[in-house]
């Protein structure tokens, strides 16, 4: 089993380290946070300096997992280039295009495929993590024209070992999608919380499930939310513009005719799409792990398919019957 | 114990009927829905025609609870005027100004105070309800210049018997508040669901907690959501305008400087306001139930206070120490 070296031991990186160890892999990490380092060591994990961690990764031909906020990725990749330039490489950062661009710049011959587990909590740091965080979750693994099959397989294998299901996707398609279903929800939660709080104690005293649910992620660490949303600026601007258009149309319709029919019906149908995708029966297929197979996997990912198992030379995919 | 006559046996009305009966009160209802009537009878409750239900209310000096969508309130009040014009009267409709206006028009001498329990589910109908739906929830009971103390006490007493805590408020302040913390969240959920679904199966396949939470109430019955939101048009337009302003500012800042600091920080602080109000230590006070006391209760409600018990001539209030 390939060893795993996790750089960054916050909620996500810390949970990856735990899950990799639980899967029986040799695993160690490094973190710039003394608090996280102390907590991880207290839980029995090996925490090294980043240089030590990467040197060991090079010596053991490990998979290096970059699990820092986007703002720290460039500095980490430079250390990887210095200490483990041949390492297997993936990341769990919430935006994929900017990370891929950094990898191309800093480690042009890296054996890299990007990753993004779709699991989170409003809490952060090592102490908030646990090995089962990714159980049943989607975990995007990027496929580009130049992605090496072996590198993709390593990243996907880690995701499966962590209990997740792999969604093959291009970085661009991923970033556009998560702008809609992760980054815009954070912006909406922040705006909704502020408009509610502007109503004073009476409004907050009357607030119930719809407000609590709609503002939950506004309680997340602001630095992490900013790193995530600001790091996906172009795609998020598109999503915000779509939202402004729809919200403006709702406003116009409510003001002029008193009706929110279009808005409410579209929202109800869209929410049903989400349930339908989740509840749909699945078709299984097997895709060979070669260059053409990777392209096919990306197509299946765009249709809602997920890789649920890997053999030495093939991927098992479950696709919704939509 | 005063008897309770519930007109409308959907999620809220059905739960009120169950809760009132559980509290030991004589209780019966009526509904225009054959499905709800059949289900309520199967559960052992007495379901009459609206005329029969109201005649019995008049005979037993019961509290009539209007629990229909806003769009049906006028017709119900006309039946109340015909069959039980002297009855104690409250309602559980999600908007209070329009109901109060209808009551003034149709039953100018009614012994009325409006109510609104802040509890809901995305499911609807009798079968979705249960007696404990209101346990610990806020339940607004309106105080206006002309509210009769005895009528207010009856409405508040029902809320307490249902396990809720009473938030005294004017109809106008209530409608402004719920536009922010209930109706805008429904509009936001609908818009967010639609923008997400526009991302296709890939986006929905990657959707996790933030999108699920942010769109949950988009799965509610569209007719009920429309009745609720469209019935509070003016206050909701103000809230939507605030939201458009904040979302537009976020867009502008992200596009021009790449920063979402103001948006994210404001959202995080606002969410903390919600937690702080919920977790704050409470100060207890006793307010006499007379005209001056009602005005004092309304002030306390605007500061986040809740009535937690009633005696014959006083209310026990718990107020947050903010």
Identify whether residues A149 and A15 lie together within a single domain: yes
Contact B267 A190 (CB under 8 A): yes
Q: Which of A75-79, A217-221, B37-41 has the lowest mean pLDDT?
A: A217-221
Of B178, B271, B304, the CB nearest to A218: B271
Of B182, B192, B268, the CB nearest to A211: B182
Contact B167 A229 (CB under 8 A): no
| Chain B: residue whose CA lies nearest to A188 | B188
Q: Mean of the pLDDT values across residues A251-269?
A: 98
pLDDT at A39: 98
Identify whether residues A85 and A53 lie together within a single domain: yes
pLDDT at A222: 95
| Cβ-Cβ contacts under 8 Å for A75 (sequence gap 6 or more) | none
Contact B191 A247 (CB under 8 A): yes
Identify whether residues A132 and A234 lie together within a single domain: no
Spatial CA neighbour of B236 closest among B58, B70, B43, B30 = B70
Of A194, A241, A244, the CB nearest to B267: A194
A309 found inside a domain: no
Of A119, A203, A214, the CB nearest to B208: A119
Give percent above pLDDT 90 in chain B: 96
| Cβ-Cβ contacts under 8 Å for A189 (sequence gap 6 or more) | A214, A215, A216, A217, A218, B210, B214, B267, B271
Q: What is the mean pLDDT of chain B?
A: 96
| Chain A: residue whose CA lies nearest to B178 | A203
Identify whether residues B69 and B208 lie together within a single domain: no
Of A182, A260, A322, the CB nearest to B210: A182
pLDDT in tens, B174-191: 999 999 999 999 999 999
Q: Mean of the pLDDT values across residues A255-274?
A: 98
Give percent above pLDDT 90 in chain A: 95
Phi then psi for residue B3, to 5 deg, are: -70, 155
**Cβ proximity of A204 and B304 under 8 Å:** yes
ipTM: 0.95
Identify whether residues B148 and B227 lie together within a single domain: no
- The beta strand positions in chain A, using DSSP E, are 4-7, 27-30, 63-66, 88-91, 111-112, 115-117, 138-142, 165-169, 282-288, 306-310, 314-320
**Would you say the C-alpha torsion B222, B224, B225, B230 has a positive or negative sign?**
positive
Residue A39 has a CB neighbour count (10 Å cut-off) of 19
User: Chain B contacts of A176, Cβ < 8 Å?
Assistant: 199, 203
CATH of the domain at A118: 3.40.50.720
Q: Mean of the pLDDT values across residues A63-72?
A: 95
pLDDT at B265: 98
Identify whether residues A210 and A110 lie together within a single domain: no
Give the end-to-end CA distance of chain B in Å, rounded to a whole number. Answer: 37
pLDDT at B120: 76
A276 found inside a domain: no
Distance from CA of B153 to the nearest CA of A (A): 20
pLDDT at B118 over 80: yes
Read off the pLDDT band of B62 (50, 70, 90). very high
A263 found inside a domain: no
A269 found inside a domain: no
**What distances in angstroms separate CA A9 from CA A6, A90, A217, one per listed residue?**
7, 15, 21
Q: How many CA atoms lie within 13 A of A164 on its CB side?
A: 31
Identify whether residues A136 and A216 lie together within a single domain: no
Distance from CA of A132 to the nearest CA of B (A): 15
Read off the pLDDT band of B210 (50, 70, 90). very high
Spatial CA neighbour of A215 closest among A231, A227, A202, A198 = A198
pLDDT at B198 over 90: yes
Identify whether residues B18 and B162 lie together within a single domain: yes
B40 found inside a domain: yes
pLDDT at A121 over 80: no
pLDDT in tens, B1-54: 899 999 999 999 999 999 999 999 999 999 999 999 999 999 999 999 999 999
**Interface probe with A: pick from B204, B231, B250, B308, most Cβ of A within 10 Å:** B204
**Total domain count for chain B?**
2
Spatial CA neighbour of A89 closest among A217, A206, A209, A2 = A2
Q: How big is the CA angle at B202 (ends B197 and B203), to the nearest 5 degrees?
A: 45
Domain end (from A226, A258, A290): A258
For chain B, the C-alpha Rg in angstroms (whole number) is 21
Spatial CA neighbour of A191 closest among B188, B190, B267, B259 = B267
pLDDT at A322 over 80: no
Domain end (from A122, A138, A169): A169
Identify whether residues B40 and B56 lie together within a single domain: yes
User: Chain B contacts of A229, Cβ < 8 Å?
Assistant: 254, 260, 264
Identify whether residues B103 and B144 lie together within a single domain: yes
B78 found inside a domain: yes
pLDDT at A120: 76
Distance from CA of B249 to the nearest CA of A (A): 10
Q: Which of A11-25, A121-135, B126-140 has the lowest mean pLDDT?
A: A121-135
**Cβ proximity of B88 and B62 under 8 Å:** yes
Identify whether residues B116 and B215 lie together within a single domain: no
A287 found inside a domain: no
Read off the pLDDT band of B322 (50, 70, 90). confident
Read off the pLDDT band of A196 (50, 70, 90). very high
User: Chain B contacts of A133, Cβ < 8 Å?
Assistant: none
Identify whether residues B126 and B236 lie together within a single domain: no
Of B203, B259, B275, the CB nearest to A230: B259
**Interface probe with A: pick from B138, B196, B257, B273, most Cβ of A within 10 Å:** B196
CATH of the domain at A227: 1.10.3660.10
pLDDT in tens, A174-186: 999 999 999 999 9
pLDDT at B187: 98
**Interface probe with A: pick from B224, B227, B244, B271, most Cβ of A within 10 Å:** B271
B62 found inside a domain: yes
Contact A246 B191 (CB under 8 A): yes
What's the domain range around A80? 4-169
Q: Mean of the pLDDT values across residues A154-175?
A: 98
């Amino acid at each position: 089993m390939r060893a795993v070296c996790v750089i960054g031991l916050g909620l996500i990186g810390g949970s990856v380290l735990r899950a990799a160890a639980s899967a029986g892999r040799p695993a160690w990490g490094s973190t710039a946070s003394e608090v996280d380092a102390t907590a991880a060591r207290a839980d029995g994990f090996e925490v090294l300096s980043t240089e030590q961690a990467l040197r060991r990764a090079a010596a053991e031909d490990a998979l290096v997992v970059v699990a820092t906020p986007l703002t720290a990725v460039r500095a980490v990749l430079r250390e990887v280039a210095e200490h483990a330039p041949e390492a297997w490489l993936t990341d769990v950062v919430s935006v994929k295009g900017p990370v891929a661009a950094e990898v191309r710049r800093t480690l042009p011959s890296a054996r890299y495929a990007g990753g993004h587990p779709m699991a989170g909590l409003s809490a952060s740091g090592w102490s908030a993590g646990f090995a089962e965080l990714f159980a049943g979750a989607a975990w995007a693994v990027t496929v580009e024209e130049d992605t090496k099959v072996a590198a993709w397989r390593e990243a996907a294998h880690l995701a499966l070992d962590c209990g997740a299901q792999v969604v093959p996707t291009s970085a661009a398609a991923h970033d556009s999608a998560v702008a809609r279903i992760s980054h815009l929800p954070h912006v909406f939660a922040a705006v909704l919380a502020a408009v509610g709080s502007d109503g004073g104690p009476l409004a907050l005293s009357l607030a119930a499930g719809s407000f609590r649910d709609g503002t939950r992620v506004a309680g997340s660490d602001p630095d992490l939310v900013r790193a995530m949303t600001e790091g996906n600026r172009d795609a998020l601007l598109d999503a915000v513009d779509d939202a402004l258009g729809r919200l403006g149309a709702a406003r116009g319709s409510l003001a002029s005719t008193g009706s929110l029919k279009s808005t409410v019906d579209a929202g109800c149908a869209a929410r049903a799409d989400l349930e339908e995708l989740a509840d749909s029966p699945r078709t299984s297929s097997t895709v060979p792990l070669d260059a053409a197979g990777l392209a096919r996997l990306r197509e299946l990912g765009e249709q809602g398919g997920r890789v649920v198992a890997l053999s030495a030379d093939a991927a098992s995919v479950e696709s919704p019957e939509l």
